[in-house]
Amino acid sequence: MSSPRPLLPPLSTYPVESEGFNSIRSNAPLPSSSDSEAPSANNHNQASTMNTSKGSQHESQLHDANLSSESNLGSQPSFPHSRSTGEAQLAHSGSKSSAFHSKSKRQRGYSWSDGSTATGFSFPSNMNRGTSVKAFEISDQSSGRWSQKIKLEHGFPKRNGSRGTESDALGSSQREISEENSRLIHINDPDQTNDKYEFAGNEIRTSKYTLITFLPRNLFEQFHRFAYIYFLIIIVLNQLPFLAVFGGVTAALPLAFVLIVTAIKDGYEDWRRHRADRTENNRMANVWQDGSFQSKTWKQIRVGEVVKICANETLPCDMVLLGTSDPSGVAYVQTTNLDGESNLKTRYAKQETSVRTPEKEPISGIILCEKPNRNIYGFHANMEFEGKRISLGTSNILLRGCELKNTSWAVGVVVYAGQETKAMLNSSGAPSKRSRLESHMNRETLFLSSFLIILCAVVGVGMGLWLHRHKDELSTLPYYRDRYFNSSSNKLYNYYGMGAEVVFAILMGVIIFQIMIPISLYISMELVRVGQAFFMIRDDSMYDSDSKSRFQCRALNINEDLGQIKYVFSDKTGTLTENKMEFRDASVFGTNYCTSNVSNVSAEHGDQRSSAGNEEKEISADGIDGEVWKAKMKVDVVPNLVQLLQQDNITQESKCAHDYFLTLAACNTVVPIIQETLQKEKLIEYQGESPDEQALVYAAAAYGYALIERTSGHIIINVQGEKQRFDVAGLHEFDSDRKRMSVIVRTHDNTLKLLVKGADNSMLGIIDKTSNANLGKDAEGSSRDLISITESHLHEYSSQGLRTLVVGARDLSIAEYEDWLHRYEEASNLLIGRTKKLREIAISIERNLNLLGATGIEDRLQDGVPETIESLRQAGIKVWILTGDKQETAISIGISCKLLTSSMQQIVINGKSKEVCQELLEDAKATYGITKTKRKKAFLQRRRMIFSETVSEVGGHISNTSREMMHPPLALIIDGTSLVYILENELEDELFDLATQCRVVLCCRVAPLQKAGIVALIKNRTDDMTLAIGDGANDVSMLQMADVGVGISGQEGRQAVMASDFAMGQFRFLKRLLLVHGHWNYHRMSYMILYNFYRNAIYVLMLFWYVFYTALTATTAITEWSGQLYSIIYTSLPTIVVGIWDQDLSDKVLIRFPQLYGSGQREENYNPYLFWVTMIDTLWQSLVIVYVGYFAYTHSTEDMWSIGSLWTIAVVLLVNFHLAMDISSWTVITHVAVWGSIVATWICLIILDSIDSLPSYGTIYHVVTRGSYWLCLILIVVLALLPRFLLKMIKQKIWPSDIDIAREVEISTTNPGYSAAELNQITASAPR
């Protein structure tokens, strides 16, 4: 194919070399100010300088907290610039092409104003802000003519980026660097740096303990639990002779066991941290010392030293970049270890230091930087170097843990080391959360504590009454005496008076009944949670094959909360969607080029699409420099648009299309990675911090505008097969206030162009209305202009669920650019308010743009998202979407994922003021009859609604159609601007009343903090459990605010994962996580807590009843060893096994019938009613144990140790049979645990009764020979469990729950594929 005529001069007129930036020089004439300001013949590209009051007014509305769909919290790369504005036009006759040919062969010289010359000198490629440059002259030595003389005070700025509200919030540029708030670093002089104040060394320590501090600190941390302090007091009381009920060692055994097990676990974990620390600290790095770079361990590196890092090495500390192997001072780093993002980020060395290397000449200077802080996205410092003060920012610092990529080496000076590095300061995990069951457990523990006090008071009062009744017999009673038998001495025998005896009786009661507070429950819960987490992690159904990642359980203490979720707050991009962007539609100069239409046509007439749709798109047929270059990602193109770009005649439409794709290729931070294939082809892979940018650059490459090289000062783009170089003269990064990005480039003919892309609501207000092209009339005869047509295309794209951006550009005059540059340089050197000022400067130049068009990028739904959301809805869970996308996009995605249905009535809240928002909320409430209710009443009302929905959906009493006719479901759609006025004023209650009555809520254009505010709106006003799920850094605040935070291991890094409680690879796994594992965990943990209360209470009540037959002296018939082993060996293992393995229903049933999840929302398995019913049952069973043995042995000669042996075996049998009645799924492990614990009890009794020093010596050998002993055991078990068995059978037959019905059907049905109608019929017939 013949090469079409390029839109820019051909490559032959613009030589490009590959040796680096300094070897690539543009010799094209730079237009003068007067020429640049002259009106252009092309109105579309005319640089208008008119006052755009409307655009300014729009800018004033941008200071809301909205987050653009393109927002990225990561540090954005920026680019220094290749030459000074002082390069003036060279007066030369002849054509532009001939001038290029003749001048490119001549040597240019620069003459400084002081008379010195530098032959072949090129102006520094990355002259940056804060750089003062002497006035210089440009000469053409071959001609001997001086073109002109320009004086400059500043070169091109290196860092032209204005940050967003994130930076402002952190205040990195808002505070002045003073002596009190800064540190002084002497470059390459660590001794002087650490002379006044010894900064932290580079040795890190993530471990908590040392050999000296382990015991005291570990005990201190464990005793933060009040229960441990309680048991410690019990042990101390038991050491007093007059209160000793158990032996000193025996009394301390339970607490000691728990403390030792926990200490071993903590010690092992800390040992692993110590080992990792040693490995990290002993890694080697190259440090400049004694005139060369020498190897040194990381832990020996000091602040102020110069360190050299080679490719693929990890940075040992935070350091300011001084120079790299790239002549322009650029370095690429991967921050996976820091924030989880795998995309490359660009960092730069300042020009003054990048040309210096320690090997050639020593580097010295002073850096004044802020004190160590956690802000990994901000850095504020100034550097004094060779008499110049240079500003340093985020783009100039390399952080510990990053890896150097695509750069041979980099040199930097250490500013933060060891524990003061930003990575270490951010090493703390997510805030600790507490499960709801554990909170309720504390409530029941308080009840049991009160009951314990009552029991002890009864013992004490009873003792006092008994002493008062027998006060005259105390000297002669054989079993309770106040004096020695030797009457002559008349000496008191451990008797301290009635009052003291009453107090002692109360304290001894506390010691005896201490087991009422189940200390073993704490360690049992920890073990159960670990087991539950293990099986969740090993669940292959939640394994993501694409990312090769398993489910992660990062917070073990809230497993059971997964079974009680009522609200799910979900991000959209990367959570519901794949976050793998694909360029779909392009609106260029009012024409809509849709690839989907091309795909449909191709499907009908054979695949005749452009070759750009191949798996790897060739950049051009002829290649570049004789080589074949291909883009890695597939992009479909529209042939008509390709033909427009390749046509020979240049029209206004083709020029607009050229600028459109030039903007897509140049206005970004994408880095091209060139790889050579086995077929000797050049494969281009684009690495960027934003998937949107990558998709746009791949699209530009597919249409013939391939970005093939990026340095700190220029970019090279292959334009239709011809290399074109563009010097980057300025760049303003994307931020969430402006919601756009702009770059100033200088073309081959030295024209300065401003290229801008951003969100529609931020771009349309800065479009020059005077350049709005008239595109004729439509079918109805109405005039069609470019802006209105583009807006209609944007609406169409959004309705299809596409992510949209608007593209604009304009030419800049020299005078306008110099004015911008001067103001930018002044702002960049500010110590206070730098970020705000830079943003204002960006806004001032981003105006009067020519509208080029718009883009539509598809972010496809993940697999299984619609099915998952439908299952969650059937489970009674409300799903709210919180996204930064525009409203139309969010609505389209809501329809695609079946969150929004055609039957729903949509309520849209788009207010621009507090008054408007209040009016919209009140109108919506009045229209749909929503009244303001008290929070508690609203909560009960919602619980009744859940109950009724479960009845109707499972039982089928009311059809969906009839129910929606009576009460149509509501969907609330609200934007971020409205939330600003609502969440910051007294309108929160109004929003709460409306939102909680809606089935679906979509929040559009919301900022990260607004996401957290929405979660707090529900969390702080209801008792409903909330879950937030997201994949990006902007979701972190939402994840930490919710009761449960779930991170998605997606394309936006791992910040969300690191801040989450649970993490997984796909949104669809949420269905199994909640409906299966959440249900199981809640059911198991609820039962285990109640069972532990029952198990301990029955033992205490058994001892309490016996007290009445020992003159209320707190005497026990059970040996002290059996009492202590009861909770440790006799009964602990079965409840742990059941808590890990028991399944009330199979996973297939739980997945097939999501309504069964409602039992956790309604707290059916753990509530005060069940607690008190359990306590009443415990009371009955304890009476049976005591009085069966009492009546059996009343007239016998058996001693109390014999009846104590009976009670020990009886209570163990009883609690294990009680547990066996409630086990839903028996496994080999369950059988071993339950029946094995009974056998273990017998073995322990035999061992204890074989010790002749114990009072129960030989008892077990005696009682087992009696038939009455075995008869009593049978009677106790039958009589004690009979009421429970009967009530349980009656309830399941007459008042079955959904779980009971589903279990009955599952057990009775041999075919696992039974119909839903069968279950619905049974459920419908069940009384409620």
Higher pLDDT, 296 or 780: 296
Helices (H), 195-347: 214-222, 226-239, 248-281, 336-339
- Weakest-pLDDT range from 230-234, 693-697, 738-742, 898-902: 230-234
Strand residue runs (E) in 934-1061: 970-975, 1000-1004, 1025-1030, 1044-1048
User: Stretch 697-710: mean pLDDT, rounded?
Assistant: 91
Higher pLDDT, 286 or 88: 286
CB atoms within 10 A of CB 274: 15
CA atoms within 13 A on the CB side of 582: 17
Q: Of the ranges 123-132, 150-159, 1115-1124, which is most confident? A: 1115-1124
Share of the chain above pLDDT 70, in %: 74
Condensed to tens digits (0 to 9), the pLDDT of residues 1267-1278 reads 888 999 999 999
Higher pLDDT, 1118 or 1154: 1154
pLDDT at 1251: 85
Token pair recorded at residue 1314: 């039974």
The chain-wide mean pLDDT, for the chain, equals: 75
Residue 583 has pLDDT above 50, yes or no: yes
C-alpha 941/C-alpha 836 separation (Å) is 48
Q: ∠ at Cα 754 (753, 759), nearest 5°?
A: 150
Token pair recorded at residue 840: 């204002």
Higher pLDDT, 231 or 1274: 1274
Condensed to tens digits (0 to 9), the pLDDT of residues 1197-1231 reads 777 888 888 889 999 999 999 999 999 888 899 99
CB atoms within 10 A of CB 492: 12
DSSP letters of 368-388? Answer: EEEPP-S-TT---EEEEETTE
C-alpha 1200/C-alpha 1203 separation (Å) is 5
pLDDT at 244: 59
Nearest to residue 1218, comparing CAs of 1165, 1173, 1269, 1282?
1282
Condensed to tens digits (0 to 9), the pLDDT of residues 466-504 reads 888 877 777 666 666 555 555 555 555 556 677 777 888
User: Stretch 860-881: mean pLDDT, rounded?
Assistant: 90
Q: What's the helix, strand, coil split of the chain in %, to 5?
A: 45, 20, 35
CA 446 from chain centre, in angstroms, equals 36
CB atoms within 10 A of CB 543: 17
pLDDT at 1108: 84
**Amino acid in position 941:** Q
Helix (H, G, I), strand (E, B) or coil at 1324: helix
**CA dihedral for 408, 411, 415, 417, sign (positive or negative):** positive
Beta 722-732 vs 774-777: how paired, if at all?
A: unpaired
Share of the chain above pLDDT 90, in %: 23
- Weakest-pLDDT range from 550-554, 620-624, 1068-1072, 1221-1225: 620-624
Helix (H, G, I), strand (E, B) or coil at 485: coil
CB atoms within 10 A of CB 928: 15
Residue 394 has pLDDT above 90, yes or no: no
**CA dihedral for 22, 28, 29, 35, sign (positive or negative):** negative
Beta 565-570 vs 582-588: how paired, if at all?
A: unpaired
Dihedral pair phi/psi, residue 1087, rounded to 5°: -65, -40
Higher pLDDT, 356 or 1315: 356
- Weakest-pLDDT range from 250-264, 284-298, 954-968, 994-1008: 954-968
User: Stretch 546-559: mean pLDDT, rounded?
Assistant: 83
Q: ∠ at Cα 341 (337, 343), nearest 5°?
A: 115
pLDDT at 204: 85
- What is the 8-class DSSP label of residue 3? P
Condensed to tens digits (0 to 9), the pLDDT of residues 81-133 reads 333 333 333 333 333 333 333 333 333 333 333 333 333 333 333 333 333 33
Helices (H), 284-413: 336-339, 351-354
pLDDT at 262: 81
CB atoms within 10 A of CB 1231: 13
pLDDT at 487: 53
The DSSP element (H or E) to which 467 belongs, if any, is helix 436-469
pLDDT at 694: 87
C-alpha distances (whole Å) from 74 to each of 163, 336, 914, 1055, 1290 are 11, 12, 33, 10, 62
Question: Which one of the listed residues 140, 168, 561, 571 is annotated catalytic?
Answer: 571
Dihedral pair phi/psi, residue 232, rounded to 5°: -65, -40
CA atoms within 13 A on the CB side of 929: 4
Token pair recorded at residue 258: 């728990």
**CA dihedral for 574, 580, 585, 587, sign (positive or negative):** positive
- What is the 8-class DSSP label of residue 186? E
Higher pLDDT, 1322 or 557: 557
Condensed to tens digits (0 to 9), the pLDDT of residues 1297-1308 reads 888 888 887 777
Active site residue 1199: no
Helix (H, G, I), strand (E, B) or coil at 608: coil
Measure CA of the first residue to CA of the last residue in the chain; give whole Å.
Answer: 78
> Global pTM?
0.68
Higher pLDDT, 53 or 793: 793
C-alpha 1298/C-alpha 735 separation (Å) is 51
Residues pairing with 622 in the sheet = none
Helices (H), 647-690: 652-666
Residue 194 has pLDDT above 80, yes or no: yes
Residue 684 has pLDDT above 80, yes or no: yes
Over the Cα atoms of the chain, what is R_g? Answer: 39
